[in-house]
Structure 1
Amino acid sequence: DKVRDTYAAIGSISSFSSYGVDVNGVSHPYIVAPGQAVISSVNSYLSEPSLCAMKEFDASGRMCYWGVSSGTSMASPCVAGIVALWQEANPHLTIEQVKSIMAASADKSKNAVGIRFGNGRIDAYQGILQALSSGVDDIGLATHDIQMVANGDAYAFVSSTDSPIRISAYAMNGVEVASSAGVGIVNLNIGHLGRGVYIVKAMGAKGSHVFKILKK
């Protein structure tokens, strides 16, 4: 709480966050991410790591340090990790597709608009939904010709066109945990999976559709 109260309100733009238009007429930033008062590890090989650390811990004779840092050094790794998550879910994403997902899925609430916010706050969850529903050639391609019918942990995916379907279930870290394929009707059972939220991508003849399911 002391750290939080010392800095700007959570969700607001940092006072030191730069913005503007470059010589090519491109507005910056493109996206914003957490970058102020972020708790992070401190390099233990610094000459005096304890000087910039707020907490330290002795791990079997090796001192580990943590401190509060701000700036691009904190925001950039956050964005890199989120993009890695999206690419784990969809390894075929191109740089331009990642940028499109980033902009389309960003948080654009009332306090996240204006030139200083770019396209808004990066949203890992909404982004992964779009990453899973994105084809190689077309961001956001989706079709409703596939319907999902639930019966406990068993799910049936029905194609209205009686065409081939491939079903893939992903954990929230982007890893595929179950899959099935067939023609017309495809069954998927998640009884062996742990409790939590899963994202299911259904690929049909007309494109893809994403469902969210809850394993209780």
Structure 2
Amino acid sequence: MRKKDDSLRGTLIDSARAIADTEGIEAVNMRSIAQRAGVATGTVYNYFSSKEDILLALTEEYWKKTLYEMRTAVTADSFCGQLEEIFFFLKERIDSSGSSLMNSLGEVKKAGQERMESMQAVLAETLLRRMEQDPSVRNDIWNGTFTMEQYSRFIVANMVMLLRTEPYEFHFFIEMVRRTLCRTGDEDGTGDCGNNI
């Protein structure tokens, strides 16, 4: 069996993305991808078993790229400020095309959800690192039954839920996080974390 060319796989995904961006997701199929990439349709089948398989790869790549770009897009100093920026960054990405990609998965939706769980784990790890770097986040609240790792997963689970609902109540959520994590001392209860909303 011939070894697959990773650069050709990338070209096929890029072709699928270009078609989805210009003509819509419904225009993505094996033949249109092959034509755009300048290869035979059979070549596309050497890399992807179906249109859904391509859309799954496209969705995964989209969210990996989104999480990568988020690292530089988030610039606030405090964790709560960063959390707010992360939420609205992800909301914009979902509204622009992330939602339509996930909804297009059809028969492989379960696989798409499993891959999204791995992306959520990456996001939880990112939040954990950001909490650790913010000196205004209280350290006295963590113990064996209430860990920073659990809290970062809790934040991600709730953000995902809020991203799926309209209208979302993000301001209530961020206030709850602020009151849990931040040292109090100001009359408004925001303490060292500041009021970023």
Given the two structures, how large is their TM-score scaled by the length of structure 2? 0.29
Between structures 1 and 2, the one with greater helix share: 2
Could you say which structure has the greater relative contact order, defined with CA pairs below 8 angstroms and 6 or more residues apart? 2
Given the two structures, how large is their TM-score scaled by the length of structure 1? 0.28
Between structures 1 and 2, the one with greater strand share: 1
